[in-house]
Structure formats: C-alpha cells, structure tokens
Amino acid sequence: MSNASNSKRGIALPLALLILLAGLAGGAGAVLWLWKGSPPAGPMGMAEAATPGGGPCNGKPPKLYRNPMGAPDVSSTPKKDSMGMDYIAVCDDGEGPQDASVVKIGLDRVQRLGVRSEVVEERRLARTVRTFASVQYDERRQTVIAPKFGGWIEKLYVNATGDVVTAGQKLFDVYSPELNVLQQEFMLSHGMQGAGAADGRLRNLDYPQAELEKLRRGDKAPHTIAVPAPAAGTVVEKMAVEGMRYQPGETLFRIVDTRTMWVLAEVYEQDLGYVKVGDIARVTVNAWPDRPFEGKVIFIYPGVGKESRTARLRIEVTNPDGLLRAEMAATIEILAPLGMAVAVPESAIIDSGKRQVVLVERGEGKYEPRPVKLGARVPGYAQVLEGLKPGERVVTSATFLIDAESNLRAALAAFTAGDAK
C-alpha cells in the first residue's frame, strides 16, 4: 500500500505543476491581449465598445477623436496614443451650424462647476481717488514785516514765535533817524507849499497813518514810532530782537493766518482724469483719524513729476480750531462721480493683460467668450465701453474653467480645419 501511495503522489505532483504553468501562460496571454487590444470590427468598433447601447454619440458617428492626454492631435478615425490609451470621441451636437467660439457644457457639469451669471445693466458709478498729502500754510494769507526804513528796535511787544496777533496790534517801537528828519521837514513845511512833498515821502515809507494824522493836527513829532501788525495771524518767524538795528527791507516777522490751510496732494497720472477743480476732498490726518476735514480742490498744477509721474493738487481746507498744522501728513479721498454706465462685476472679467474677455451666456450650458473694452474700475465693478449691452448675462464665477474649455475647443477646431485642407 505504501508503494502505491508513493507512486500516486509522484504522478500528481508533475500534473499540478503542469496545470499551474498552463494557467500562468493563459493569464499572461489575457493580459497581453488586454494591453494591445483586440482589432476593431470597423471604424466605429472602439466607440461602440466604449459606450454600450449605440456608442458614445448615441448611435451617431463621432465628429472626430482627440488625444486623451490633451495633446494637440486629432483624428477622424479611432486610434490609440503611444501609451495605448484610446482617443476620446468628440460628438456633433446635432444642432446644425454653430459659432465655433461658443462653448457648450452639460447642465450637470455647470452645476458641479458652480457657474453663476449676472445680468448686465447700467449702474451709477463713482470712483474714489485716494492718495497721500501734506498740510501747508496758505500762501495768500502770509504777511512779512520788512520796514522800508532802517532804525533801532527800542521796545519789542511781540517777542516769541507762535504768538497770535490781531490786525493793528503793536509789534515794536522803533527809533529811525531817517523818519525823524522827515518829521521835522513836515513840521517846518506844515501849512506851506512844500508840505505835500514831505507828506508824500512819509507815506511812501509806510509811516503809520495814525502818527501821520497827529502830525497833520500839529502835534509834536514823537521820538519813536510804533510799527503795527498789518494782518491778523500767528507769528511763525521772528527775527526781531529788542535793541537790534535793522536795515531797510530786512525781514523782522512773518505772520500767517492759519484759519485756512492748504493740503498738497500727489495724484498718479492715471487718476488725474478723474479729478477736476471744484471737487470735494475728504482730508484725514494721523493726529485726529476720527475727525475728517472737508476741503475743495482749488488748483491743479500744470506739470507732472518726471520721476514720480504724479501731479500735484491744491486743496483748501478751513481750520477754525487750529487743529491742522503745517507739514502734517494727511490722506485725501476724492469721490469722482462717473454717472450712469454699463458695468459688469470684476469677477466676470478674464484679464490677460493685453485683452479683456467676458463669458456671455447664450442659453442653457452655452457660453460665448467675448472681448470687451473697459473704462473706469470702481470697487466691485468695471465700466464697459464696448462689447456688451444691457440685458445680456455674463458669467461671474468659474470663468477660468469655462475659458480653458473654450481654448481647447478653439484649438481642436483649428486642427480639424487643418486636416480638412
């Protein structure tokens, strides 16, 4: 019994090995067959195998076949690429002639992409020009005290920079030998034919009118005269010192009326077209960020900075409380109304730098890439000068995905036209 059992085992083992080898060979053949594929029964064999029940185009012949990896290669018959992958059938939508630029996307895919659209309409647009500026004194409200006669300052009444003075307030008393000689000439010629000449010389030297009236009444000529402030304001420069001697025309005080200040702003060249004289400006300074000041554009300087490419604006701002001070840094905002204009959301614009395109909805799942000419851009919207009209719908989301599909369709159409030639 043991010999028979051993004999059976010796026969079964080679038989099992033979069956195993046959199975491996069959499996390798099947894998090779699947890799290379079976030859198609006809031109539509592959398309019919890909989609049961009439092929990938519902029983209609495909328009062409495109490379599955997106390479610029199309074919009029089914084929495989270098990796053995089947070319993808491109079906004819069966709706007759259609603009090659129109992209058609299935409604289910539209939902997956999250495509949204918005109606084009006219809107009231306004652009805000925002820039930095600095606060300066109003040049028209500055006064310099530089007497036309020389002398010595015997008494100084305004003796500190920053003092506030009123018009007519005494600044200092001066002794002037030149004025004393003219006073004596006036007194000697008083009531005589030459009195008018002496009177005129005193007035030419800005002799104080009040002192001149005293001389005309016959009062005694004073030893010193008081020089008054010609205008109200704040003393921003004081060179006068009690006891000093000054020469004719030497500046002793500079007084500025700070109730009105200038704000000088630098506006970029591309924003200059939205600003004009008379526009209202909102001025904010760092010292009081919660208290804006309202001003008006009163002048636009004629030149543009060679290096900065900016133009300077002059804005007049009232400063009754004296909160604005010279050389303060400021920020200005000028609201420039543009009126009613056709506008689209910024998200609807595909900007390549050289051209701007929007996707116009032409029906369910149909989109037309259309070039447009843009005007002013405001927060959230862009003005459309050419290319759209009110009532059309534009895509506001997933625009780049649809635009990519459009570029692929255009490329396929170009290659198809090349094959036909």
Architecture of domain 128-138+258-338: Beta Barrel (2.40)
pLDDT at 291: 92
pLDDT at 127: 87
Percent of the chain scoring above 70 in pLDDT? 75
Phi first, then psi: give them for residue 233, nearest 5 degrees: 160, -165
**Is residue 108 classed as helix, strand or coil in its secondary structure?**
helix
The full DSSP string for 293-336 is EEEEEEEEEEEE-TTT-EEEEEEEEE-TT----TT-EEEEEEEE
pLDDT at 16: 52
Q: What kind and span of H or E run contains 54? A: none
pLDDT at 49: 41
pLDDT at 213: 83
194 DSSP assignment: T
Tokens at 109, concatenated:
């895919």
Whole-number Å distance between alpha carbons of 334 and 279 = 7
Give residue 221's Cα distance to chain centre.
69
- Please write the tens of the pLDDT for every residue from 149-200: 999 999 999 999 999 999 999 999 999 999 888 888 888 776 565 566 777 8
Map out the domains of the chain as residue ranges.
1-36, 43-92, 103-124+340-420, 128-138+258-338, 145-255
Whole-number Å distance between alpha carbons of 180 and 151 = 11
User: What CATH number does domain 145-255 carry, 2.60.40.740, 3.40.640.10, 3.30.450.20, 2.40.50.100?
Assistant: 2.40.50.100
Q: Name residues of the chain where pLDDT drops below 70.
A: 1-59, 69-72, 91-101, 106, 190-196, 398-421
pLDDT at 40: 43
Dihedral sign computed on CA atoms, order 45, 48, 49, 53: negative
Whole-number Å distance between alpha carbons of 302 and 272 = 11
Amino acid at 420: A
pLDDT at 258: 94
pLDDT at 31: 39
Phi first, then psi: give them for residue 292, nearest 5 degrees: -75, 150
Dihedral sign computed on CA atoms, order 191, 197, 198, 204: positive
Amino acid at 383: Q
Whole-number Å distance between alpha carbons of 20 and 179 = 136
Q: Give the per-residue SS3 of the chain.
A: CHHHHHHHHHHHHHHHHHHHHHHHHHHHHHHHHHHHCCCCCCCCHHHHHHCCCCCCCCCCCCCEEECCCCCCCEECCCCECCCCCECEEECCCCCCCCCCCCEECCHHHHHHHCCEEEECEEEEEEEEEEEEEEEEECHHHEEEECCCCCEEEEEECCCCCCCEECCCCEEEEEECHHHHHHHHHHHHCCCCCCHHHHHHHHHHCCCCHHHHHHHHCCCCCCCCEEEECCCCEEEEEECCCCCCEECCCCCCEEEECCCEEEEEEEEEHHHHHHCCCCCEEEEEECCEEEEEEEEEEEEEEEEECCCCCEEEEEEEEECCCCCCCCCCEEEEEEEEEEEEEEEEEHHHCEECCCCEEEEEEEECCEEEEEEEEEEEEECCEEEEEECCCCCCEEEEECHHHHHHHHHHHHHHHHHHHHHHC
pLDDT at 93: 56
pLDDT at 420: 47
- CATH code for the part of the protein at 103-124+340-420: 2.40.420.20
